[in-house]
Amino acid sequence: MAEEKKPSDSMSLAMLEDMASCGLETTWDRYEKQLPMCGFGKSGLCCRHCNMGPCQVNPFGGEPKTGVCGADADTIVARGFVRVIAGGTSAHSDHGRAVCELVIATAKGEAPGYEIKDTKKLNAIAQTMGIDPSGKSKEDLALAVGEMALAEFGKPHGHQIMTTRAPKARQEIWKKLGILPRSIDREVVEAMHRTSMGVDQDYHSLLLHGQRMSLADGWGGSMLGTELQDILFGTPKPVLGEINLGVLKADKVNVIVHGHEPILSEMVALASQDPELLKEAEAVGAKGIVVAGICCTANELLIRHGIPVAGHMKMQELAIATGAVDAMVVDVQCIMQGDVALAAKFHTRCITTSPKARIRGAQHIEFEEHHALDTARKIVREAIAAFPKRDQARVKIPQDSSAAIAGFSHEAIKYMLGGSFRASYRPLNENIINGRIRGVAGVVGCTQPKIAKGEQPYLELVKELISNDVLVVETGCAALECGRSGFLLPEFQEAAGPGLREVCETVGMPPVLHAGSCVDNSRILIACTEMVHEGGLGDDISSLPVAGACFEWMHEKAIAIGQYFVSSGVFTAFGITLPVYGSPNVVKYLTQEIEGETGGKWAFGLTASGMAAAMIDHINAKRAALGIDKPGERVLYDMEARRQLRF
Ligand code: SF4
Ligand code: SF4
> Which atom of ligand 1 is least distant from the CA of 53?
5
Q: Is 52 in the pocket of ligand 1 (CB under 6 A)?
A: yes
Per-residue pLDDT at 417 exceeds 90: no
CA dihedral 104, 110, 112, 116 (to 10 degrees): 30
The ligand with the least distance to the CA atom of 299 is 2
Among 296, 300, 522, the mutation site with the greatest number of ligand 2 atoms within 8 A of its Cβ is 296
The ligand with the least distance to the CA atom of 475 is 2
Among candidate residues 117, 98, 120, 481, the one with its CA nearest the CA of residue 270: 117
Span from the CA of 7 to the centroid of ligand 1 (angstroms): 45
Per-residue pLDDT at 571 exceeds 60: yes
Span from the CA of 580 to the centroid of ligand 1 (angstroms): 17
pLDDT of residue 393: 95
Q: Is 55 in the pocket of ligand 1 (CB under 6 A)?
A: yes
The rounded distance, in Å, linking the Cα atoms of 121 and 163 is: 17
For residue 444, give Cα distances in angstroms to 480, 513, 577, 605: 10, 11, 16, 16
The ligand with the least distance to the CA atom of 200 is 1
Span from the CA of 552 to the centroid of ligand 2 (angstroms): 10
Span from the CA of 36 to the centroid of ligand 1 (angstroms): 24
What average pLDDT does this structure show over 610-618? 98
**First CA to last CA across the chain, in angstroms?**
52
What average pLDDT does this structure show over 400-410? 96
Per-residue pLDDT at 4 exceeds 80: no
Per-residue pLDDT at 155 exceeds 80: yes
> pLDDT band for position 3 (50/70/90)?
low
pLDDT of residue 645: 41
Q: Is 50 in the pocket of ligand 1 (CB under 6 A)?
A: yes
The rounded distance, in Å, linking the Cα atoms of 444 and 550 is: 5
> pLDDT band for position 419 (50/70/90)?
low
Averaged pLDDT of the chain? 95
Contact criterion met (CB below 8 Å) for 236 and 407: yes
Q: Which of 119-128, 496-505, 605-614, 623-632 has the lowest mean pLDDT?
A: 623-632
The DSSP result for 493-554, as a single string, is GGGS-HHHHHHHHHHT--SEEEEESSTTHHHHHHHHHHHHHHSSS-SSGGGSSEEEEESS--
Span from the CA of 297 to the centroid of ligand 2 (angstroms): 10
The DSSP result for 329-356, as a single string, is EE-SSS--THHHHHHTTSSPEEEE--TT
pLDDT of residue 168: 98
Amino acid in the structure at residue 200: D
Span from the CA of 156 to the centroid of ligand 1 (angstroms): 31
Alpha helices in 345-492 (DSSP H): 372-386, 410-418, 426-433, 457-467, 476-483
What average pLDDT does this structure show over 21-44? 97
pLDDT of residue 630: 79
> pLDDT band for position 639 (50/70/90)?
low
Among 258, 312, 448, 458, the mutation site with the greatest number of ligand 2 atoms within 8 A of its Cβ is 312
What average pLDDT does this structure show over 53-73? 96
The ligand with the least distance to the CA atom of 72 is 1
Largest CA distance in the chain: 71
pLDDT digits 0-9 by tens, 420-477: 567 789 999 999 999 999 999 999 999 999 999 999 999 999 999 999 999 999 999 9
pLDDT of residue 2: 47
Per-residue pLDDT at 303 exceeds 70: yes
Span from the CA of 620 to the centroid of ligand 2 (angstroms): 30
| Secondary structure of 162-185 as H, E, C letters | HHHHCCHHHHHHHHHHCCCCCCHH
- Domains, the chain, in order of start with CATH, read 73-233 (1.20.1270.30), 245-394 (3.40.50.2030), 408-575+607-630+640-645 (3.40.50.2030)
What average pLDDT does this structure show over 574-600? 97
Q: Is 476 in the pocket of ligand 2 (CB under 6 A)?
A: yes
pLDDT of residue 634: 45
pLDDT of residue 369: 85
pLDDT of residue 421: 62
Among 89, 475, 517, 518, the mutation site with the greatest number of ligand 2 atoms within 8 A of its Cβ is 518
pLDDT of residue 350: 98
Q: Is 335 in the pocket of ligand 2 (CB under 6 A)?
A: no
Among candidate residues 206, 213, 216, 215, the one with its CA nearest the CA of residue 49: 206
Q: Is 48 in the pocket of ligand 1 (CB under 6 A)?
A: yes
Contact criterion met (CB below 8 Å) for 439 and 467: no
pLDDT digits 0-9 by tens, 242-301: 999 999 999 999 999 999 999 989 999 999 999 999 999 999 999 999 999 999 999 999
pLDDT of residue 533: 96
Per the rule left: phi > 0, alpha: psi between -120 and 50, beta: everything else, 100 is alpha
pLDDT digits 0-9 by tens, 518-546: 999 999 999 999 999 999 999 999 999 99
Among 45, 55, 79, the mutation site with the greatest number of ligand 1 atoms within 8 A of its Cβ is 55
Q: Is 125 in the pocket of ligand 1 (CB under 6 A)?
A: no
**Is 0.90 exceeded by the ipTM?**
yes
What average pLDDT does this structure show over 67-72? 98
Per-residue pLDDT at 414 exceeds 90: no
Q: Which residue's CA is the nearest one to ligand 1's atom 1?
A: 197
The ligand with the least distance to the CA atom of 222 is 2
What average pLDDT does this structure show over 494-522? 95
